[in-house]
Amino acid sequence: MKNIAVYLGLAILAAACASETPKSEAPVTEGGKATAPSTSQGTGSTSSPAQSADVQGNPLHDPNNVLSKRSVYFDFDSNVVKDEFRPLVQAHARYMVEHRDSRVRIEGNCDERGSREYNLALGQRRAEAVKKIMTVLGAPDARIETISYGEEKPVAMGHDESSWAKNRRADIKYAGE
Amino acid sequence: MNASFRSIPRLLIGALALCAALGARAQLTIDITTSGARQVPIAVVPMAGEAGQPQSVSQVVGADLSRTGLFRLVDTTGITPLPSEPSQVSFPDWASRNAEALVIGKIEPSGDGRLEVRFRLFDVQKQSQLASYSYVVSPQQLRATAHRIADVIYEKLTGDKGVFSTKIAYVVKRNEHRFELQVADADGYNAQSILASNEPIMSPAWSPDGSRLAYVSFDQKKPMVVVQNLAEGTTKIVANFRGNNSAPAWSPDGRFLAVALSKDGLTQIYRIPATGGTPQRLTDSSDIDTQPAFSPDGQWIAFTSDRGGSPQLYRMPAGGGPAQRLTFEGNYNVGPRFSPDGKYLAFVQRTDGRYRIASLELATGQLLTLTDGTLDDSPSYAPNGKMILYEAQVGGRGQLAAVSGDGRVRQRLTSSAGDVQDPAWGPMPTN
């Protein structure tokens, strides 16, 4: 909790410093679709010694910050958010409370087993389960949309449990990402 | 009985213009397995005058009939001359080959570059004519004409309407970023992409008159329901509310769609005008209600709900109201589709980790498992109710397959295009 408070303070600082920060640290596995890596936009190049992710970077994209973690994984046929993912979800809830212009879309996903349309609804329920934790902590309902890709956008293409486990997932995405 | 059909349905003409460009190349090849069903031996004699035409009519007729699993084609080689007129038919020749039915015909120029196709169907044992029709068509319409001939023969010999002139729609996933919605003839020919997207496409559903397709598009990075007019190529977003918008199902009068929306929390079923408008909520549970399907008489909506702890089939009045649970065996019965006569539901059943197509007889509650796949999905009845088209996963890829309502005839439609998903069998063509 103490760490989160520190992150939040830094996040506010970072937001005050720069409205647009490089996204070069964005995890490539996020979002299903590879976003073009940003190439030396402005001064914040990744190799610059002046760049301290802790101070200037966007906490949402700082790999050392829990806020850079966006994926909550689920058991088969389950929409229970497991304890190991609660700190992650709570951190995003607090970030949303502190950042009143932040908007989030939570995207639910399923493994390939089962009927496509039912999986679409299951994925949405996973997203809702994540949202519920966030709204209990004060993140406003109106700024969180829950949608689902069902089984349509797997990140792992195999037909075995190791792939399925990666695909049973809800991803937290901020508007503009 | 003689009848002259001078108008081929408009729907087919557009497709046939493309047929010439595509040639006779099949997008899907079809394998059939049958078990236990009696097959009527039928001789389909090559038509006089078809050799020089862009399409062999008799071959298409024979392929249509044999694909149903209800007919066995009798070899016609060695009989000379092959008959094309009733006076040339020697019934003992065909009786000796155990043919019970015989089809002959001829194709002749009829002026203006058009052709007259005449066929006759005989009962070999009774030595009597069962049907005789002629069609005046352009050479490009020969394939569609062959399907119409097969429809007549099928109906004369089985008593059921043929579905050889119908269309199917399905989604092709070529790779992670290339999805196409395709429409093809029921035999897999004349496949055309009516939509391409780098985001997923799901759940195509034909309007009752076959003029429009509703489907789920992810073009705006979330599921929304779109209706596309096939003749005009125009599209309209009819449901793009907060959250998910999916599972479109047409009311029998074509005026409304039942859809699954999550705008008020979890996925629930709503009714919305097919041209878009204000959704009216039909279910009110605190669980998932989705996959609606109107009964053919418009009285009921069958759907999936997990309000009882596991996903099961339910039905409610089409205007909403108390729901009645329909399935009790197993812990996963989803995605109901009514048979055209309204007596059965086809759906996806999970047993021991395998997902298969099953049917439920509504009057008796009798369940029948129809397929033996591992990941079957998206059943869709042919408009005559005899076959169910569905998606089967084979070797990690989606492929189309079909099974008869009694499970005895199975077809596998193999495509080299990629993952083939979410088939929907279109309605009977309108004249």
Contact A121 B355 (CB under 8 A): no
A132: its two tokens: 């519920």
The pLDDT of B259-269, averaged and rounded, is 97
Residue A7 main-chain phi, psi, to 5 deg: -60, -45
Residues of A in contact with B378 (CB under 8 A): 115-116
**Residue B129: which of B85, B95, B159, B164 has the closest Cα?**
B85
Residues of A in contact with B288 (CB under 8 A): 118, 121-122, 125
- Flag whether residue B334 sits within 8 Å of chain A, measured between CB atoms: yes
Residues B378-404 have pLDDT tens digits of 999 999 999 999 999 988 889 999 999
Q: How confident is the model at residue B377 (pLDDT cuts 50, 70, 90)?
A: very high
Cβ pair B358, B332 in contact under 8 A: no
B329: its two tokens: 């065996």
Using CB atoms, which residue from A116, A124, A128 is nearest to B422? A116
- A164: part of which helix (H) or strand (E)? helix A161-167
Distances (CA, A) of A55 to A42, A44, A46, B66: 17, 12, 14, 73
Q: Which of A33, A112, A116 to mutate to test the interface with B (most CBs of B within 10 A)?
A: A116
State the CATH architecture for B167-425.
6 Propeller (2.120)
Using CB atoms, which residue from B200, B216, B243 is nearest to A146? B243
To 5 degrees, how large is the angle CA A62–CA A67–CA A71? 110
Residues B122-158 have pLDDT tens digits of 999 999 999 999 999 999 999 999 999 999 999 999 9
The pLDDT of B305-326, averaged and rounded, is 97
Cα Rg, chain A, nearest whole Å? 17
Residues B178-199 have pLDDT tens digits of 999 999 999 989 999 999 999 9
B270: its two tokens: 């709503």
Regarding predicted confidence, which is higher, B375 or A8?
A: B375
Q: Where in chain B is the domain with CATH 2.120.10.30?
A: 167-425
Q: Which of A78, A117, A132, A149 to mutate to test the interface with B (most CBs of B within 10 A)?
A: A117
What's the longest Cα–Cα distance across chain A? 52
Q: Strands, DSSP E only, in chain A?
A: 71-73, 104-109, 144-150, 169-174
Domains of chain A: 1-22+52-68 (no CATH), 70-177 (3.30.1330.60)
**Residue A15: what pLDDT?**
38
Residues of B in contact with A113 (CB under 8 A): 353, 355, 375
To 5 degrees, how large is the angle CA B311–CA B392–CA A165? 60
Residues of A in contact with B244 (CB under 8 A): 120-121, 124, 147-148
Contact A120 B247 (CB under 8 A): yes
**Residue B418: what pLDDT?**
81
Q: Is A24 helix (H, G, I), strand (E, B) or coil?
A: coil
Residues of A in contact with B420 (CB under 8 A): none
Residues B277-312 have pLDDT tens digits of 999 999 999 999 999 999 999 999 999 999 999 999
Nearest CA in chain B to A32: B176
Residue B326 main-chain phi, psi, to 5 deg: -110, -25
The pLDDT of B20-37, averaged and rounded, is 54
Residue B100 main-chain phi, psi, to 5 deg: -95, -25
Contact B377 A116 (CB under 8 A): yes
Whole-number average pLDDT of chain B: 91
Contact A117 B290 (CB under 8 A): yes
Interface of A with B in 56-115 (CB under 8 A): 105, 112-115
Q: How confident is the model at residue B28 (pLDDT cuts 50, 70, 90)?
A: low
Cβ pair B11, B431 in contact under 8 A: no
Residue type present at position B131: A
The pLDDT of B36-65, averaged and rounded, is 92
Residues of B in contact with A150 (CB under 8 A): 202, 223
Give A82: exposed, middle or buried? Use CB within 10 Å, 0-12, 13-18, 19+.
Answer: exposed
Nearest CA in chain A to B261: A121
- Flag whether residue B335 sits within 8 Å of chain A, measured between CB atoms: yes
Residues of A in contact with B302 (CB under 8 A): none
Nearest CA in chain B to A152: B200
| Residue numbers of chain A with a pLDDT score lower than 70 | 1-56
**Residue B130: what pLDDT?**
97
Residue type present at position B89: V
Instruction: Count chain A–chain B contacts defined by CB atoms under 8 A.
Output: 98
Cβ pair A40, A1 in contact under 8 A: no
- Flag whether residue A122 sits within 8 Å of chain B, measured between CB atoms: yes
Residues 6 or more apart whose CB falls under 8 angstroms from that of A115 comprise B291, B304, B334, B335, B348, B355, B377, B378
Contact B377 A115 (CB under 8 A): yes
**Residue B109: which of B142, B132, B81 has the closest Cα?**
B142
Please name the residue that has the structure tokens 């001064």.
Answer: A43
B130: its two tokens: 């069962």
- Helix H, strand E, coil C: the string for chain B is CEEEECCCCHHHHHHHHHHHHHCCCCCEEEEEEECCCCCEEEEECCCECCCCCCCCHHHHHHHHHHHCCCEEECCCCCCCCCCCCHHHCCHHHHHHCCCCEEEEEEEEECCCCCEEEEEEEEECCCCEEEEEEEEEECHHHHHHHHHHHHHHHHHHHHCCCCCCCCEEEEEEEEECCEEEEEEEECCCCCCEEEEEECCCEEEEEECCCCCEEEEEECCCCCCEEEEEECCCCCEEEEECCCCCEEEEEECCCCCEEEEEECCCCCCEEEEEECCCCCCEECCCCCCCEEEEEECCCCCEEEEEECCCCCCEEEEEECCCCCCEECCCCCCCEEEEEECCCCCEEEEEEEECCEEEEEEEECCCCCEEECCCCCECEEEEECCCCCEEEEEEEECCEEEEEEEECCCCEEEEEEECCCEEEEEEECCCCCC
**Residue B29: what pLDDT?**
64
Q: Which of B173, B224, B290 to mutate to test the interface with A (most CBs of A within 10 A)?
A: B290
Other C-beta atoms closer than 10 Å to the C-beta of B144 total 26
Cα Rg, chain B, nearest whole Å? 23
For the question of whether the overall pTM of this predicted structure is more than 0.90, the answer is: no
Contact B244 A121 (CB under 8 A): yes
Distances (CA, A) of A99 to A45, A132, B26, B431: 25, 18, 57, 61
Question: What is d(CA B273, CA A107) in angstroms, rounded to the nearest whole number?
Answer: 28
**Residue B79: which of B46, B105, B112, B49 has the closest Cα?**
B46
**Residue A91: which of A62, A51, A122 has the closest Cα?**
A62
What sign has the CA pseudo-torsion A51, A56, A59, A60? negative
Q: How confident is the model at residue B32 (pLDDT cuts 50, 70, 90)?
A: low
Residue A157 main-chain phi, psi, to 5 deg: -95, -5
Cβ pair B413, B369 in contact under 8 A: no
Residues B351-364 have pLDDT tens digits of 999 999 999 999 99
Class of domain B39-158: alpha beta
Using CA atoms in the order B333, B335, B337, B343, what is the torsion angle rounded to 10 degrees? 20
Residues of A in contact with B177 (CB under 8 A): 33
**Residue A34: what pLDDT?**
35
Q: Where in chain B is the domain with CATH 3.40.50.10070?
A: 39-158
**Residue A5: what pLDDT?**
41
Give A79: exposed, middle or buried? Use CB within 10 Å, 0-12, 13-18, 19+.
Answer: buried
Using CA atoms in the order B263, B267, B269, B271, what is the torsion angle rounded to 10 degrees? 30
